[in-house]
Amino acid sequence: MKRLVLLIVSALVFASHAVAQQSLVPAPPAISASGYLLMDADSGEVLIEHNADERLPPASLTKLMTSYVLSYELEQGQVSNSDLVTISKNAWAQNPIFTGSSLMWIEVGKQVTLGDLHKGVVISSGNDASVAVAEYLAGSEDAFAGIMNQHAQMLGLENTHFANSHGLPHPEHYTSARDLAILARAIIDFPNEYALYSEKEFVYNNIRQNNRNGLLWTDPSVDGLKTGHTNEAGYCLVTSAKREGMRLISVVMGASSERVRERETQKLLSYGFRYFETHHLYSAGTELTKAKVWKGGSADVALGVQDDVYLTIPRGKADDLDAQLIVNEVLTAPIAADSEYGELQVSLDGKLEVSVPLVALESVEEGSIFKRLWDSIVLFFLSLVS
């Protein structure tokens, strides 16, 4: 079908209207870790990666998925933070499998609110709290691991498999830096629950424990997410930081110490914030153009994008963006809302960066029989001369 191309460069709205200057992006810094990745949280653009798809042991980064599943159930209204959970022997802090690991220090037979257990998972990194959440949501930890893997599939995590809720070593328990970044991005979409990740301490049973993410104390832009460590996994850290409206997610796996994982994370974040910028180009549901509708009850239909459109580019390159709307030339009623009738394309220096469907923002029913007949005649003659 023929398409109508509309230039819409002037419609792009940016946070800054300063004159853009050509900027060079240097090579990424060397990172001392087994696998790592830096991603923009809004656009999903990956800025740096190394061994990002290698299957690695996640240690307590596992609890990101435990927390995500709980957040999902809370958002769906299936459970409440005020729910009381009776602690089983499996979830008891004195369970021998937890010896030497991080704990919330919950006691068998006691009742603990689900909200406190969530804090125990996120802030205290409690293996005991993770098992208690798993048993409450799924009946057993094995069943909960199955739910974790279902969510991993739905999120498109291609190199992830969970065998437990806490991250203690297991041969079939692994994930990748890319998958963890995708998971972190999904957690951030639950703002009420994500707020837990910025809390620096949690007191339970008269025991005060600090959040193990040391960057919360040293970098005010950091507000999450999670640390992890076992001898097998090394020192791991998934971090999110926001500066001047731009949010980045970094993943460092297999570092040699706590200090190194924090240092390497800061190198990733500094590089991303210094040399890149993210623009919110278009909002979901905003009319970008109108297109003529043939044989319809209305003369035209508004077209836009279904989801917010973000783009991450090198700093100083905003003025070099070129945007086009490619609209189907003949739109015939009935028009269904959310159906695709064209494409939005955004290019930088001649390279296509964004391609998303243009959708109808409203429905248009068929017009009267006289309208349909007349438009059919007009379209017939137009086809003869085109």
Taking the CA atoms of 210, 216, 222 and 228 in sequence, report the sign of the dihedral they define: negative
pLDDT, tens only, 298-325: 999 999 999 999 999 999 999 999 999 9
Residue 125 inside a domain? The answer is: yes
Last residue of a domain, one of 219, 253, 270: 219
Verify that 201 and 62 share a domain, yes or no: yes
Catalytic sites, residue numbers: 60, 63, 125
Q: How confident is the model at residue 352 (pLDDT cuts 50, 70, 90)?
A: very high
Residue 247 inside a domain? The answer is: no
Give the pLDDT of residue 13. 45
What are the structure tokens assigned to 234, written together?
């090394």
Cα(386)–Cα(363) distance, rounded to whole angstroms?
28
Computed over every residue of the chain, the mean pLDDT equals 92
Verify that 12 and 75 share a domain, yes or no: no
Give the pLDDT of residue 14. 45
**pLDDT exceeds cutoff 50 at 134:** yes
Tell me the residue range of the domain where 330 lies. 3-17+281-385
**pLDDT exceeds cutoff 50 at 348:** yes
Taking the CA atoms of 131, 133, 134 and 138 in sequence, report the sign of the dihedral they define: positive
Give the pLDDT of residue 385. 77
Verify that 65 and 122 share a domain, yes or no: yes
pLDDT, tens only, 239-255: 999 999 999 999 999 99
Average pLDDT over every residue of 252-275: 97
Give the CATH number, domain containing residue 165. Answer: 3.40.710.10
**pLDDT exceeds cutoff 80 at 103:** yes
Give the pLDDT of residue 17. 42
Q: How confident is the model at residue 8 (pLDDT cuts 50, 70, 90)?
A: low
Give the pLDDT of residue 110. 95
Average pLDDT over every residue of 123-149: 97
The lowest-confidence range among 17-31, 62-76, 294-308, 353-367 is: 17-31
Last residue of a domain, one of 219, 239, 261: 219
Verify that 192 and 75 share a domain, yes or no: yes
Residue 318 inside a domain? The answer is: yes
Residue 233 inside a domain? The answer is: no
Verify that 122 and 12 share a domain, yes or no: no
Residue 250 inside a domain? The answer is: no
Verify that 115 and 10 share a domain, yes or no: no
Residue 316 inside a domain? The answer is: yes
Average pLDDT over every residue of 179-202: 97
pLDDT, tens only, 73-84: 999 999 999 999
Instruction: Give the 3-state secondary structure of residue 37.
Output: strand
pLDDT, tens only, 24-48: 889 999 999 999 999 999 999 999 9
Give the pLDDT of residue 197. 97
Any bridge partners for residue 255, and if so which? 235
pTM for the full predicted model: 0.90
Query: Rounded to 5, what percent of the chain is helix, strand, coil?
Result: 30, 30, 40
Verify that 104 and 215 share a domain, yes or no: yes
What is the chain's alpha carbon radius of gyration, rounded to the nearest angstrom? Answer: 26
Cα(145)–Cα(133) distance, rounded to whole angstroms?
12
Verify that 151 and 207 share a domain, yes or no: yes
Cβ contact 182:162 at 8 Å: no
Give the pLDDT of residue 93. 87
Long-range contacts of 367-374 (CB under 8 A, 24+ apart): 367/295, 367/296, 367/297, 367/333, 368/297, 371/295, 371/296, 371/297, 372/295
**In the chain, how many domains are there?**
2
Verify that 89 and 201 share a domain, yes or no: yes
Average pLDDT over every residue of 139-159: 97
Verify that 8 and 81 share a domain, yes or no: no
Cα(16)–Cα(57) distance, rounded to whole angstroms?
42
**pLDDT exceeds cutoff 70 at 21:** no
Verify that 155 and 302 share a domain, yes or no: no
**Phi-psi sector, 109: left (phi>0), alpha (psi -120 to 50), beta:** left
Residue 251 inside a domain? The answer is: no
Give the pLDDT of residue 382. 79
Q: pLDDT above 90 covers what percent of the chain?
A: 85
Give the pLDDT of residue 317. 92
Last residue of a domain, one of 179, 196, 219: 219
Q: Which helix (H) or strand (E) holds 358?
A: strand 351-360
Verify that 69 and 135 share a domain, yes or no: yes
Give the CATH number, domain containing residue 320. Answer: 2.60.410.10
CA 237 to chain CA centroid, nearest Å = 17
Residue 344 inside a domain? The answer is: yes
